[in-house]
A and B are shown apart, each in its own frame.
Chain A
Amino acid sequence: MSDKPAVACEELWCTFAGGRQALAGVSFRLPAGGLTAIIGRSGCGKTTLLRIAAGLERPTRGRIRFVGADGSTQAMVRGAVALCFQEPRLLPWRKVVDNVALPLELAGVSRRERVARAEKVIHAAGLDGAQSRLPAQLSGGMRMRVALARALVTEPAVLLLDEPCSSVDEFTRMQLDEEILRVWQTSGATTLLVTHSVSEAVFLADTIVIMRRARVHSIHPVSLAQGSRDRTSREFSLEVEQVMRLLAHAAGVVLQ
C-alpha cells in the first residue's frame, strides 16, 4: 500500500467574481499513489480544481482532503503538495540548479543540502550538464523539465501537473511524458494531471476524469497495464478512441 495520501475532492464549488462558475459540486477521489488525469474542454474547471488542490484558490463551498492510509485527514506540510504549471515559470536570473532548489531555499534548507537534492532531481530529469545554464539558454522542452524537477525537489506526497507539455512540440511532449511516467513511478506521489491530450492521458494515467461544464461527467479507469503502454499498439488506439467517445459525448459532439 502507498504511504502517500489519497486526495478526496468533496462537493467542490467555485464561483469567481462576476458570477462565472468554475466548479459546481465536483466530487471524486484520487487513489493514494495513483496518477489521475483530468480532461475536458477549455473552461470546464480543470485548472481551477488543480489550483484549489494547490491552495492557490479557495473553493466557494466544499473541500479537498488529503486522506492517510488509516482513513484520517492529513494536514499537508509545506512542500508536500507541488504544482507544475503550464509554463515553466523559471526565474530568468537564476541558474538551473538555483531554480530547481528554490522551493528548498524558501523552506530554509541549507545551501549544501539543497544543491545536493537539486542535483539529484536534475539528473533524474535528464538535465545533466545544464546546472549552470540560465533559462534563456535552454530549449522549451528543457525549461519544462527544469520546472518539473523544481516540483519534484521537495519529494512531494501530492504532485499536481497543469498541462506541463502544452507549450512543446509533439516529439518533446512524448519525451516529457516518458519523464513524467518515470518520476511518478520513482516518487510514488499521488499525481493529478490536467491535459488536453487524450493520448497523453491514456499513456500516463490509471484513471481519467472527464469534466463537462464545471462538473464531473464520467470517470474512466484505463484498462492498459501501467508502464508498458505502447502508443503504436492497437490496444492503445482502442483505449484512446474509447476516451475520445466519452469526451465527445461530454462535449455534445458526434464523432464521425
Chain B
Amino acid sequence: MRGAVQNIRTIVPPIVAVVVILAAWELTVIATGVSPLLLPRPSVIAATLWQNHTMLLEATVKTAIAALCGFAVAGTLGIIGGSVIAAVPLLRRSIYPLATILQMVPLVAVAPLFVIWLGYGLPTAIAASAVVAVFPVLAATIDGLRSVDPGLKEIFALAGASSWTRWRKLDLPASIPTIMTGLRIAAGLSVIGAIVGEFVSGYGGAYAPLGIVVMTAMREARTDLVFSAVALSAIVGFVLFGVVSIVGWLLVSQWHASAQSEVEISR
C-alpha cells in the first residue's frame, strides 16, 4: 500500500505539470491568435500526429534504431576505453585530457566528416550518435574505477587475484552506480546525436527518419509536423533514458545509496 502511494506521488506531479503546460499553451495560442505557422496548438499537433501516424511511426523506429545502436557503441567503447585508461596511468595523462578537449568540438561541425567516411544513411547517424554519447560513459567509467575502495582492493591483493579478475569481480561491479549515471546522460545524448547525424546524412522519401522529417517539414512550412517529429524524438530519448534508469536501479537498488536516495528525494 505504501509502495502504491509512493508510486502515485512520483508519477502524478510530472503528469499534472505536462497537462497544465499543454492547456496553457492551447489557451494562449487561441487567446493571442498566433499564426499556426509560428506556433500550432497542441490539439493541432496531436491531430497531425494521428493523420501521419504510419509515416511518423516508421521514422521514429528508424531514429530509435540509430540512437540505440549509437548508444550501444558509445556504452561499449566508453566502458572498455574508460577501463583501459583508468588502468594505465600514462593513458590517463595523455588520452584523457585529449578526449576532454575533443568532446568540446561541436558535433554539427564534425558530422559532415562522417558522411565523407561512412556515406549517407544509417551508419553516419549511428556514428554521430556514438560520438556525442561516448564521453559521459568514458568519464563516468574512469571516475568509477578510480573511486573503488582501496580497502576492497586489498582483499583481492591478499588473495593474489590478477588485474583481470579484480576488474571483473570488484572494479566493474563497484563502479556500476557511477557508470549508470554516465549511461543515463548518454541515453539522452544518443538521440540528439542520431538526429544531427540524420540532418547531415539523411535519406528522404518513404524511408525518412525523424531528422529528415523535421528538415522536410520545415522547408514545407509544416510547423505542426515539425512539432510532431520533435515530440516523437523526445519520446525516443525519454524511453531510452527510462530503460537505462530502470536497468541501473535493478542493478544497484539493493546495495547502493544512490538508488535509495532517489526514493528519499522523491518523498
Residues of A within 8 A of B (CB): 54-56, 78-79, 81-83, 85, 87, 89, 91-93, 102-103, 105-107, 134-136
Are A91 and B152 in contact, CB atoms less than 8 angstroms apart?
A: yes
Using known A-B contacts A55-B158, A79-B159, A106-B161, determine if residue A89 contacts B151 with beta carbons closer than 8 Å. yes
Q: Which residues of B contact A134 (CB under 8 A)?
A: 254-255
Are A54 and B254 in contact, CB atoms less than 8 angstroms apart?
A: no
Please indicate which of the listed interface residues A54, A85, A89, A106 has the most CB atoms of chain B within 10 Å of its own CB. Answer: A106
Please indicate which of the listed interface residues A78, A87, A91, A135 has the most CB atoms of chain B within 10 Å of its own CB. Answer: A91
Are B160 and A93 in contact, CB atoms less than 8 angstroms apart?
A: no
Q: Which residues of B contact A82 (CB under 8 A)?
A: 158
Using known A-B contacts A92-B256, A106-B165, determine if residue A56 contacts B154 with beta carbons closer than 8 Å. yes
Judge whether B173 is part of the interface by a CB distance below 8 angstroms. Answer: yes
- 8 Å CB contact of B155 from A55, A102, A107: A102
- Interface of chain B, helix or strand or loop or mixed? helix
Nearest chain A CB to B180 CB, angstrom units: 13
Please indicate which of the listed interface residues A55, A79, A103, A107 has the most CB atoms of chain B within 10 Å of its own CB. Answer: A103
Instruction: Report 17 cross-chain contacts, Cβ distance below 8 Å, ordered by A residue.
Output: A55-B158, A56-B157, A78-B160, A83-B158, A85-B151, A85-B154, A89-B151, A91-B152, A91-B170, A93-B173, A93-B254, A102-B155, A103-B159, A106-B156, A106-B169, A136-B254, A136-B255
Q: Which residues of B contact A79 (CB under 8 A)?
A: 159
Are B173 and A91 in contact, CB atoms less than 8 angstroms apart?
A: yes
Residues of B within 8 A of A (CB): 149, 151-152, 154-161, 165, 169-170, 173-174, 176, 252, 254-256
- Interface of chain A, helix or strand or loop or mixed? loop
* Contacts across chains A and B counted by CB atoms under 8 Å: 50
Q: Which residues of B contact A102 (CB under 8 A)?
A: 155, 159, 169
Closest Cβ neighbor of B152 among chain A residues = A89
Q: Which residues of A contact B152 (CB under 8 A)?
A: 89, 91
Q: Which residues of A contact B158 (CB under 8 A)?
A: 54-56, 81-83, 103
A79 to B160, CA, bound (A): 9
A78 to B255, CA, bound (A): 30
Nearest chain B CB to A248 CB, angstrom units: 32
Are B255 and A87 in contact, CB atoms less than 8 angstroms apart?
A: no
Q: Which 5 A-B pairs have the closest CB atoms?
A: A106-B159, A92-B255, A89-B151, A93-B255, A106-B161
Nearest chain B CB to A107 CB, angstrom units: 7
A91 to B166, CA, bound (A): 12
Nearest chain A CB to B247 CB, angstrom units: 15
Closest Cβ neighbor of B256 among chain A residues = A92
Closest Cβ neighbor of A81 among chain B residues = B158
Q: Which residues of B contact A92 (CB under 8 A)?
A: 255-256
Nearest chain B CB to A214 CB, angstrom units: 22
Q: Which residues of B contact A93 (CB under 8 A)?
A: 173-174, 176, 252, 254-256
Closest Cβ neighbor of A150 among chain B residues = B155
A177 to B255, CA, bound (A): 29
Q: Which residues of A contact B151 (CB under 8 A)?
A: 85, 87, 89
